[in-house]
A and B are shown apart, each in its own frame.
Chain A
Amino acid sequence: MDENKATLDKITEDLTFHIRITRGFKIWMGFLILGLGVCLYAYTLQLRFGLGVAGIRDYVSWGLYIANFVFFVATSLIGMLISGVLGLIGIKWITPIARIAEIIAVAFAALAGLVIVMDMGRPDRLAYVFLYGRFQSPILWDVTVVTTYFVLSALLLFVTMISDIAWVHKNVDHLPGWVRKSYKMLSLNWTDTPEKNAIIRRSARILLLLIIPCALAIHTVTSWLFAMTSRAGWDSTLFGPYFVTGAFVSGTSAVLIAMYFFQKNYKLHNYITDGHFDKMGKLLVLLMLVYFYFNINEFFVPGYKLKTAEAITLYDLFSGRFAFLFWAVQIGGLVLPIILLLFRKMRAPLPSLIIALAVFIGAWFKRYIIVVPTQEHPYLPIQYVPYNFKIYTPTLTEVAITLASIFMVLIIITVLSKFFPVIPIRETALERGLLKGEDNSEL
C-alpha cells in the first residue's frame, strides 16, 4: 500500500512538474507575443486600406488566408481521430497522448474560426452572417459546424480534465494564490466519489460520440466550399473524403511534433515512450497510404482524360508554374515519408520528428496547391487586367497576417499545455492500478 502511495506521488510529481513558470517559458511566450504583435499590426493595415493589401485579386480571390483556413480546419480533426475513434474502440496506448491531440484540436479549431474573419472584405459585417444568414450557402454550414466542433472539443478537453485540475490544486503548492484559486474554481469541487466520476465518464462518452460526426462534417463542408463550384480542378465528387483523409495526415504529424517537444521539455520519457512514437509512426503511415490512394484518384483520373479546362490546371501542376511545389509536396511530404516510416529506426523520436515536420509543412502547401492554381485558370481568358491579377503572389502583409494565426495557435497550445497536465494524471494512475477504483471499461 505504501509502495502504491509512493508511485502515485512520483507520477503526480512527474506529470505536474511542468506546471511552473520557467525562464524558458517566459522567453518563448515573449517571442510569441512579440511576433503576434508585429503581425497584428499588419492586420490593422488591412483593416485600414482593405483587402487590397493582400496579393489576392478578382481572379485568384482566395489565397493564403483560405489555404491557411483549410489547413487549420484539417489539423483540428486529430482530436476526433485519437480520442474519439481510437478511444472509443478501446485502444489503451493513446492515454498519454489523447490530451495533446485534444489541445491541438481546440487550438486549431478556435483559430479556424478566427482566420476566416481575416479573409473577409468587410469584417465589420460579421454579424450579418447570423442576422441575414441563408442556409442554402455552404458558408453557413461551415460556420455552424466549425463553431459546434470547437465547443465540443473544448468541452471534451475540459470534462476529461476536471479530476486532474482538482489533483493539481491539491498537490501543487508552489503556485501563486490566484492561480490555485482558479484551479479550485475550474475543478468544480470535484471529489473522488463514484457518482461524480460516473457523470464525468458519461459526459465524456457522449461528447466523443458527438465529436466524430461533427469532425467529419467540418472538413467535408470545408471541402464543399470548393467542390460546390463548377471550376475545373475543384469540381470533384472526391473532395470530401480527400480532404478528411488529408486532415488526419496533417493532424497526426502535428501530434508527433508536439509529443517530441513535450517528451523532451517536460521530461515525460516514462510516459510518452519511444513505443508511442513507434505506434504513432505506424498510424501516420497507414493514414498517408489512404491519403496517397485518394491523391491517385484525384490526379490520375482527370490526368488520364485531360479534358480541356482541367488539363490547363493539371499541366500547371505537373510541369508548369506550380510543378516544383506540387512534386515537393507529393514526394517530400507524402511518398518519401511513407517509405521512411516503414523502417523501425525511422520511427524513433528524432527521425519521426523530422519526418513529421516535413509532412506537416507539406500538408500546409498542399492546401495552397488545392486553392490557388485552379483560380488562375477560369473558363474564360483573363485579359485587359494588370499582370498581378493573372498571377497570384502573396504580399508581405498577407504573409504576416497568416503568421499571426500561427503565433496565436502556438500561444494557445503553449498556455494550455503549461498550466494543465498534458498527460492525464488520474487516468494514468488508474491504468497502472494505483487508484482502486471504478470500472473504467465503459469509456
Chain B
Amino acid sequence: MEEQPKNEQQQDNQNRINQEPEDPKQVSRRKFLRNFGLVAAGAAAGAAALFSGDLFEKSKTKSGKKKVLLTQDNKLVEVDSLELKAVEKSPEESMQLRGREGIQGKRWIWVIDLSKCRNARQCIAACQAAHHLRHDQFHINTLEMQENKHTPAYHMPKPCQHCDNPPCVAVCPVDATFKRPDGPVLIDNERCIGCRFCIAACPYSARMLNWIKPKFDDEDKGLPYNIELNIPQRIGTITKCLMSSDRLREGKLPYCVSACPNGVYYFGDENEDSVTNGTTKETVRLSKLLNENGAYQLLAELGTKPRVYYLPPKNRLFPFEPSKEAEPKKI
C-alpha cells in the first residue's frame, strides 16, 4: 500500500522530463551568449586600462636613486629611495613584539640580601601601585621564614625567581607565559586562557590569577596592552612579577628595587658582572658579592635554575619582628 504514492510521483517526474525541451530557459541560450560576449569585451577593456594605469603609476615611483639597506637577517639589499617607508605598527603590536624579544645583549640578574630586610613592605606597595594590583595580589611578597626553632627567623622578599628552566613556561598550553632571552619570565594576558597549570607547576607560588574584576578594570579600559607592565590587568588571566621589564627598557631599576629603604636589593646585568643597589645606588661586582656572602638560590634542588640569588641572613642589621599586619579582607 505504501508503495503506491511513490509510483505516482515517479510518473510525475517522467512527465516533467518529457516536457523539458519547451522550457523557456533553453530557448534563451542565444540571448545568454550575446550578453556573455558583451561582458567579456567590457572586462578586457577594463583590464587593459588598469594595466596601463599601473605601468604609469610604477614609473612615478622609480626615482632611479638606490639605497643600500641591511635586513634583519643580515643581508644587504638595494631599494629604490622612493619606496622607503617607515614601518607603522599599532602601539599594541610594537609593544607585543619588543616585549617578546626582550632587550638585546642583557642578562638581568637579581640579588636579595636577607640580612638587611626588616619587612618594611615598601617594595610591595610600589609594585602593587605600578601594576594596578589589589592588596592580596603579590608579584613580590616578604615571607616570615624559620627552618626550625633553633635557626633564626628572618624576612624573605620573594619575587618570581625568573628561572632559566621555568616549569611554568614548560606546561603552558598556549605560549602565554614565556622566557625572554634577557632573563625575565613574562605573561601575555591577551593570550592566557586561565587554565592555571602554571600555578600548579610553580614551586615558588609566584603566580596568581585575576579571579574577579581587576581593581582598575574601569580606569584602564581602552589602554593599549603593555606586555612588559601587564596593564591593563584582565579578568580570568594570570598576573605575575615581570622584573619591571618596562623600567629596564628605560634603563631604570625595577619598581620594588628602587622603593626599598633598607638596601636589600641589588639588580644588574650578568653579562657586565655588575649589580646596583636600589637604595644606595652603589654598583658592585656581581661575582664578588655572591662569592663573599655565600649566596644561594631558593629550592635550587628542583632544577629550576633561578635568576634570583639570596645572601644569607647573617649579621642582620635589624632584630626580627613578626608582622603586625592584620589579615586582609576576604575576596
Contacts and interface: CB of A to CB of B under 8 A. Distances in A.
B192 interface: yes
A386 B327 contact: yes
A225 B170 CA distance: 12
Interface string A148-172: 0000000000000000000000000
B172 interface: yes
A120 B194 contact: yes
Contact of A378 (B136, B197, B203, B325): B203
B145 interface: yes
Interface in A123-138: 125-126, 128-129, 131-134, 136-138
A126 to B, nearest CB: 7
Interface in B191-245: 191-197, 199-201, 203-205, 207-213, 235-238
Determine which residue in A57, A61, A133 has the highest number of CB atoms from chain B within 10 A of its CB, and name it: A61
B158 interface: yes
B231 to A, nearest CB: 18
Contacts of B167: 229-230
A235 to B, nearest CB: 9
B171 interface: yes
B172 A381 contact: no
Contact of B213 (A49, A126, A229, A386): A49
Interface in B312-331: 323, 325, 327-331
Contact of B174 (A61, A133, A228, A375): A133
B138 interface: yes
A122 B236 contact: yes
Interface residues of A, number: 47
B144 A128 contact: no
B205 A121 contact: no
Contact of B194 (A121, A375, A382, A385): A121
A121 B330 contact: no
A125 B172 CA distance: 14
Interface string B137-175: 010010111000000000000100000000100111111
A119 to B, nearest CB: 7
A379 B203 CA distance: 6
A292 interface: no
Nearest to A58: B208
B49 interface: no
Given A61-B200, A61-B209, A132 B191 contact: yes
Contacts of B194: 51, 120-122, 125
B90 to A, nearest CB: 20
A266 to B, nearest CB: 31
Given A50-B236, A225-B197, A129 B174 contact: yes
Contacts of B329: 386
B205 A228 contact: no
B204 A140 contact: no
B76 interface: no
Given A52-B212, A62-B196, A388-B330, A380 B175 contact: no
A131 B328 CA distance: 40
Given A120-B195, A140-B173, A384 B141 contact: yes
Interface in A214-253: 225-226, 228-231
Given A125-B193, A129-B193, A229-B200, A50 B145 contact: no
B174 A50 contact: no
11 contacts: A49-B213, A51-B194, A61-B209, A122-B194, A129-B173, A137-B172, A378-B203, A379-B204, A380-B143, A384-B328, A386-B331
- Lowest 7 A-B CB distances belong to which pairs? A121-B194, A121-B236, A52-B211, A52-B212, A139-B173, A137-B173, A58-B208
Interface of B: 136, 138, 141, 143-145, 158, 167, 170-175, 191-197, 199-201, 203-205, 207-213, 235-238, 298-299, 302, 323, 325, 327-331
Given A58-B208, A129-B173, A138-B171, 20 more contacts: A50-B212, A52-B331, A58-B207, A120-B194, A121-B209, A122-B192, A122-B194, A122-B236, A122-B237, A134-B172, A137-B170, A138-B197, A139-B197, A225-B197, A226-B200, A230-B302, A380-B158, A384-B323, A385-B328, A386-B136
